[in-house]
Amino acid sequence: MATGKADLRREAGQRTRDGLLAATLELLAQRGQEGLTLREITESAGANVAAVSYHFGSLKALCDTAIEHALERYLDAQIEALGFLSSGVTLEELAAAFARPMVGALAAGGQDLAVMRTVARVGIDPPQGWDRLAGKFERARQDALRVLTVALPEVDEQELVFRTRCAAGMLNWLVLAPIGVELAAESAERIERLLVPVLAGAFRGAPSRG
Amino acid sequence: MATGKADLRREAGQRTRDGLLAATLELLAQRGQEGLTLREITESAGANVAAVSYHFGSLKALCDTAIEHALERYLDAQIEALGFLSSGVTLEELAAAFARPMVGALAAGGQDLAVMRTVARVGIDPPQGWDRLAGKFERARQDALRVLTVALPEVDEQELVFRTRCAAGMLNWLVLAPIGVELAAESAERIERLLVPVLAGAFRGAPSRG
DNA sequence: AATGAAGTCAAACGGCTGCTTGAGTTCACG
DNA sequence: CGTGAACTCAAGCAGCCGTTTGACTTCATT
């Protein structure tokens, strides 16, 4: 037997798979699913066009796989960031936790940033088969809402849901629009210092005419 | 001479042009510039494929024209909404004026909404030739900033620029993402009542730890 | 050395793309 | 009525698209 020994053939196949996924993620982050070309991916990954059919079945399946990986990485980071919060936290701490995955991705760049941008694009043009991750989405949403309802008991829950979606949308926009490349040049501390007051203010809302 | 009489041929041509522009705007709003098909546009407009080359020169020129029309309509609405504001206005009034074009478009639907969505998409993937409208963009930005600096004299101007971009990005996201179709079902009053506190809060920011 | 599974690759396929062509229609003019 | 400009249209063009094919290499196993 050779369980402890590497099968070089299978390793090469795994490398091709990973390369295709990485190239696809990068291109998805840059331009989205439309206009994405099979040959563009394979050239960027240094692979043959047939490798996509062989390893993933089709271009669409490759994109779906890359998107699902990105969504899973993003949701795990979001849930982890919010999970640390207790119920008695300030709005600023909530805002900081809410923004942490994006701030970290902007500061880190590379694949982390590509994951973020891809997730943001998916938020605008959702694929049909994201039912599998709907539970995680719901969990991340509930985590934020739970802390928010304690911090702002006087605000209607439906409005808090809306504000959470506004905040998430704002982050998605910032990472996707050209302003994202400006932000990516800043340090994580500076991004957080700019962002947290805006997010916290959006959560709190304006005092009604006071 | 026949200056007072209609040339039916030219009228038909104008109708074809307008139909192509309307169909292009609608499809741009739905799916963006990538993946947009010449035959899809012409079928939707009830025109022949050659009409695009004849009237606009190319598919890209047609898209550019449709986008430029949309940008101009949006910027005019934005500048007009902000132009009414005096310097001594409250943050809520500023937020309401800031959101008015989008709220109106969501309530009106149809072409107004398509204009909004197209502008938002252009904000993510900007075409190269929008230099012609850069002046209008700058003017809309300055209008908002002018009122903001008076309303929030204690905040650094660079931060106010950032908050303005955050607010604009949030509106763009709301009109573009699936939540936009939910909002479009609501009345203008309800949308505004939800939106203004969030925008005003984002402008004001959160009190620094206090 | 022989075998067969795993992976790679150039070439080709039908189909769709944007765009052009040339004939045809409509209509205001002289 | 004849002429020419404005416009429409079916058909066709070259080129890129995603996918498939079959020969080929590589390598663990026997």
Q: Over the stretch B35-75, which tens digit does the pLDDT of each residue have?
A: 999 999 999 999 999 999 999 999 999 999 999 999 999 99
* Segment B143-161 mean pLDDT: 91
User: What is the residue whose two structure tokens read 């908002």?
Assistant: B144
Q: Which residue is nearest to nucleotide D17 (CA to C1')?
A: A37
Tell whether the model's pLDDT for residue A2 goes beyond 50: no
Tell me, in Å, how far CA of A100 is from C1' of D4? 70
Torsion angle, alpha carbons of A14, A15, A19, A25, to 10: 40
Contact call for residues B73 and B89 (beta carbons, < 8 A) = no
What pLDDT shows up at residue A59? 98
Which of A124, A163, A205 faces B176 most closely, judged by CB atoms? A124
For residue A87, the distance in angstroms to the closest alpha carbon of chain B comes to: 17
Quote the DSSP letter at residue A20: H
Contact call for residues B101 and B179 (beta carbons, < 8 A) = no
What pLDDT shows up at residue B210? 38
Whether A146 contacts chain B with CB within 8 A: no
Tell me, in Å, how far CA of B120 is from C1' of D13? 37
User: What is the residue whose two structure tokens read 């490398």?
Assistant: A15
Whether B208 contacts chain A with CB within 8 A: yes
Which of A90, A194, A204 faces B159 most closely, judged by CB atoms? A194
Which of A34, A170, A209 faces B169 most closely, judged by CB atoms? A170
For chain B, what's the residue count?
Answer: 210
Binary contact (B205, A197; C-beta < 8 A): yes
Q: Which nucleotide is nearest to B48 (CA to C1')?
A: D9
Lowest mean pLDDT among A44-48, A82-86, A121-125, B56-60: A82-86
Q: What is the largest CA-CA distance in chain A?
A: 77
What pLDDT shows up at residue A1? 36
Task: Report the run of H or E that residue B149 belongs to, with start and end.
Answer: helix B134-151
What pLDDT shows up at residue A143? 86
Tell whether the model's pLDDT for residue B3 goes beyond 60: no
d(C-alpha A135, C-alpha B158), whole Å: 39
Burial of A4 (0-12, 13-18, 19+ CB in 10 A): exposed
For residue A38, the distance in angstroms to the closest alpha carbon of chain B comes to: 14
**B-chain residues near A173 (CB < 8 A):** 124, 169-170, 172-173
CB of A37 nearer than 7 A to strand D: yes
CB < 8 Å from B in window 165-194 of A: 165-166, 169-170, 172-174, 176-179, 194
d(C-alpha A206, C-alpha B99), whole Å: 15
d(C-alpha A111, C-alpha A33), whole Å: 17
What pLDDT shows up at residue A210? 38
On chain D, which bases lie within 7 A of the protein's CB atoms?
5-12, 16-22, 26-29
Quote the DSSP letter at residue B209: -
d(C-alpha A118, C-alpha A70), whole Å: 7
**Position A74 confidence tier, pLDDT thresholds 50, 70, 90:** very high
Q: Which residue is nearest to nucleotide C29 (CA to C1')?
A: B1
Which of A92, A176, A204 faces B201 most closely, judged by CB atoms? A204
Binary contact (B173, A172; C-beta < 8 A): yes
**Position B4 confidence tier, pLDDT thresholds 50, 70, 90:** very low
Q: What is the mean pLDDT of chain A?
A: 91
**B-chain residues near A209 (CB < 8 A):** 90, 92
**A-chain residues near B201 (CB < 8 A):** 201-206
What pLDDT shows up at residue A6? 59
Binary contact (B177, A202; C-beta < 8 A): no
State which residue of chain B sits closest to A182, comparing Cα positions. B162
**B-chain residues near A178 (CB < 8 A):** 126
Tell whether the model's pLDDT for residue B183 goes beyond 60: yes
What pLDDT shows up at residue B6? 59
Tell whether the model's pLDDT for residue A118 goes beyond 90: yes
What pLDDT shows up at residue B2? 36
Q: How far is CA B181 from CA A126, A159, B174, B210, in A?
A: 13, 17, 9, 38
Grouping H, G, I as helix, E, B as strand and the rest as coil, residue A69 is helix
φ, ψ dihedrals at A193, nearest 5°: -65, -35
Extract the tokens encoding A39. Answer: 């040959």
Q: How far is CA B70 from CA B27, B61, B63, B136, B203, in A?
A: 13, 14, 10, 13, 27
Tell whether the model's pLDDT for residue A5 goes beyond 50: no
